[in-house]
Amino acid sequence: MKIVSFNTGHDGHICFVSNGELVFSYEAEKDNNPRYSYNTPTNLARGFSASSSSIDVIAVSGWARGNDPRSAPTDGGYLGLNYKLEQRDNIPWLYCSHELSHIICSYALSPYADSTDCYVLLLEGFIGKLYLIRKDLSIELLEDIIQSPGLRYSFAFGVADPHFDLPKGYCRLGDAGKMMALAAFGRNAEITDDERLLLSYILDTPSPIDSFSKSDLKASKYYNIGVQSQDFCDLARKISNSLFELISRRLRKHIHKKRPLLIAGGCGLNCDWNKKWKCSGLFTDIFVPPCTNDTGVAIGAAALANKTFSARSKLNWSVYSGQEFSNTRTTDSPSKYEASKLSLSLVSQKLARGEIICWVQGKCEIGPRALGNRSIFAAPFLKTTTAKLNQIKNREHYRPIAPICLEEDAALHFEECTSSKFMLTFYTVTDPRLKAITHVDGTARVQTITYRDSPATYELLKNFKEATDVGVLCNTSLNFSGSGFINNRTDLERFCIKHNIMTFVINDTMYIKPGDR
């Protein structure tokens, strides 16, 4: 059974499933395209041509016209648990709602598909619902918990940001991650009257997409206060905690039996919330797929098609199922770098001396996190390294840098951490040497790795441990600001030259500026 599936909304991607295996998921933003890109005809054509000449099913994850998910549906639509089948040119087309695609993606990629009933918590820009999904793929809505959890979380950032001027019902897609970073700077204290007024606006409004407007809050203390002010950081912490507590309170009344909890939707990237769910004691396990945001909905539609036509929803998959790297230079100017066979010991020595290195291996990652195949690596010891990496990435100084760690050593450096494959939860840092990856609240967004996950990256960490006694590196995504991963040699060299990076690695070859050994 060969299935091609695509997403019609932002975070556009096209995936190919063959006999229950995710062969690839190509995301439109990857290869230095703007973040959150929609699919283009070229992307779709490349995806179809890369799949197979004989396709059994085409699946589509739907959307809605305009900004409002309640608007007229396109293809499978945005809301609801519906799907439909049509026959076109002797090929079945399955149209799946955006909501249903999210739910099934989280289930099909989990260890529990086809064998265990699970709770699914879908938290995204508009939808905030709890479901029970059974092993036969029947789904029961347990409660519509809260509308627009993602919009509520992100909106406050715009209130404090003098540069935010979007119309009613809008937020910026990148602000949620910034809110998460700033919340760590907030102090635990009693809620003040000013905070209570804004918290009430954010939490109590029934339909933010219909009513949230920055102009309503001109009298608020927080209007254009500046997102880095201590007062706003305190508020960001309280918004995050209060919104989680509201969702948790409404969810708890439905948890009568311990089962795994699957997190779906863009709020699944909130590492603080994921940690709290894990610590709640309500569930036997917490699973968040690496493509929990909209980069997974085509996979969900493909899994539904697989279940419909072959009776199994479970997919065999790897997080490294994105595009291959193009190592062809598309410029006539000579390269400023000399190629030689990869020496892991030399790269480790360079990292130990404080050099920053761009690292490319195999196919790129699915989802928004760089997990060692499209990464920038650095030693984790100096706080100045955090600032240097954020400067290279053109990111705010308060944004944390994540660690990548040998899985067998995780417990040596991070409290109660044994495995954290996709960098989707926080752990307390217990090793005081790791200053570059320790956020202001003492936590880090950890990724652990084994040889089976990525042999070259694992061996690099082993070599770095031999050189420094620590099998941990700083790991941030290899991309220009505002764009997806770099995925071709020309852009990679341009990036390295712009930021004075002396060494980059592509698979088993390293490229070094002459005289820099």
Domain assignment present for residue 436? The answer is: yes
DSSP assignment of 296-318 equals: GHHHHHHHHHHHHHHS----B--
Beta bridge partners of 427: 444
- Dihedral over Cα of 287, 424, 479, 98: its sign: positive
For residues 243 and 256, membership in a common domain is answered with: yes
**What does pTM read for this prediction?**
0.97
Domain assignment present for residue 2? The answer is: yes
Domain assignment present for residue 343? The answer is: yes
Domain assignment present for residue 322? The answer is: no
CA distance 102 to 295: 10
For residues 276 and 365, membership in a common domain is answered with: no
Domain assignment present for residue 468? The answer is: yes
Task: Report the pLDDT value the prediction gives residue 166, as an integer from 0 to 100.
Answer: 84
Within 430-500, where are the H helices?
455-468, 489-498
- Dihedral over Cα of 478, 481, 483, 488: its sign: negative
For residues 378 and 283, membership in a common domain is answered with: no
Task: Report the pLDDT value the prediction gives residue 516, as an integer from 0 to 100.
Answer: 63
For residues 308 and 254, membership in a common domain is answered with: no
For residues 146 and 271, membership in a common domain is answered with: yes
Domain assignment present for residue 331? The answer is: no
Main-chain phi, psi angles of 512, to 5 degrees: -130, 140
Domain assignment present for residue 232? The answer is: yes
Which residues lie below 8 Å from residue 7, measured CB to CB, with a gap of 6+?
13, 14, 39, 61, 101, 294, 295, 297, 298, 301
| Domain of 300, in residue numbers | 1-109+292-317
CATH number, position 412: 3.90.870.20
Q: Which H or E run includes 195?
A: helix 193-204
List per-residue pLDDT tens for the chain, 517 residues long.
999 999 999 999 999 999 999 999 999 999 999 999 999 988 888 888 888 778 999 999 999 998 899 999 999 999 999 999 999 989 999 999 999 999 999 999 999 999 999 999 999 999 999 999 999 999 999 999 999 999 999 999 999 999 999 889 889 989 999 999 999 999 989 999 999 999 999 999 999 999 999 999 999 999 999 999 999 999 999 999 999 999 999 999 999 999 999 999 999 999 999 999 999 999 999 999 999 999 999 999 999 999 999 999 999 999 999 999 999 888 888 899 999 999 999 999 999 999 999 999 999 999 999 999 999 999 999 999 999 999 999 999 999 999 999 999 999 999 999 999 999 999 999 999 999 999 999 999 999 999 999 999 999 999 999 999 999 999 999 999 999 999 999 999 999 999 999 999 999 999 999 976 5
* Contact between residue 8 and residue 73 where contact means Cβ atoms under 8 Å apart: no
For residues 352 and 210, membership in a common domain is answered with: no
For residues 125 and 103, membership in a common domain is answered with: no
Structural domain count, the chain: 3
CA distance 4 to 25: 10
For residues 359 and 469, membership in a common domain is answered with: yes
Domain assignment present for residue 261? The answer is: yes
CATH number, position 169: 3.30.420.40
CATH number, position 99: 3.30.420
For residues 65 and 102, membership in a common domain is answered with: yes
* Contact between residue 110 and residue 287 where contact means Cβ atoms under 8 Å apart: yes
For residues 351 and 490, membership in a common domain is answered with: yes
For residues 362 and 473, membership in a common domain is answered with: yes
For residues 271 and 300, membership in a common domain is answered with: no
